[in-house]
Amino acid sequence: RDSSEAAQENRYALRAWQEYHHYIEVAKKKIEDGQGNGLFIDIHGHGKNPDGFYDLRTWLGYLISSEELDQSDEILNTNSYQSKSSINNWVDSSSYSFIEVLRGKVSFGSILDSLGYKSLPSENDLSPGGMRYFSGGYNTARHGSRGGGVISAIQIELPKPGIRENQSTWSSFSKTINSTISIYYNIHLNKNIEY
């Protein structure tokens, strides 16, 4: 959230909010100076849908709305949608097209899906199909590469069942997300592996 909503005029909360974003900016600057590209990940949990059911997929937010994701690859795979996404620079640095990085075989969601965690969007679940979906919030917009910048961002919304239930499920997922990030990085930025 922005500072007014996040801190709600509490000076201690405002200070914590300022420090949080300050340290992210410091880390981003170090990455920019040292490696040139980076990935900011904003992790949250999602609960039951308004209809009362749990969607057991991990939702990935790139600042592309549910309605936009419901469109065809041909419509989405444009410079216009890429530049408004939080992974704009990541795609520019990759040898793959925007749609492939967003929800194709080499997308974050497809990699995570192949490692046992169903994800949206991915090659197997292209779009929310009109369902409630978090497409990315303040942090994703502020720290991602929408419209420029070299740090890209993904908002990750995790269901409780199978991931956030207990220490064992958290531990298993943390190993998988670490592998996913590594594979995603190597495919798109190192460009030294086939997937």
Instruction: Kindly compute the dihedral angle of the four CA atoms of residues 82, 88, 94, 99, in this order, to the nearest 10 degrees.
Output: -30
Q: How many whole angstroms separate alpha carbon 195 and alpha carbon 184? A: 10
In the chain (195 residues long), the average pLDDT of successive 10-residue segments reads 88 94 94 88 85 85 95 96 96 95 97 97 93 90 91 95 93 96 91 59
Q: How many whole angstroms separate alpha carbon 51 and alpha carbon 109? A: 24
Q: How many whole angstroms separate alpha carbon 74 and alpha carbon 20? A: 39
- DSSP letter, residue 137: -
- DSSP letter, residue 161: I
C-alpha 118, offset from chain centre: 14
Asked whether the beta carbons of 109 and 125 are under 8 A apart, the reply is yes
The pLDDT assigned to 54 comes to 81
**Is residue 175 classed exposed, middle or buried when 0-12, 13-18 and 19+ CB atoms within 10 A define those classes?**
exposed
Cα separation values, 108 from 1, 42, 115, Å? 24, 14, 11
pTM of structure: 0.92
Whether cis (ω within 30° of 0) applies to the bond prior to 121 is yes
The pLDDT assigned to 7 comes to 86
Q: How many whole angstroms separate alpha carbon 17 and alpha carbon 122? A: 32
The pLDDT assigned to 63 comes to 97
The pLDDT assigned to 121 comes to 97
What are 174's two structure tokens?
């943390």
- DSSP letter, residue 158: E
Q: How many whole angstroms separate alpha carbon 1 and alpha carbon 137? A: 7
All residues at 6 or more sequence positions from 113 whose CB lies less than 8 Å from its CB, including other chains: 119, 122, 123, 124, 125
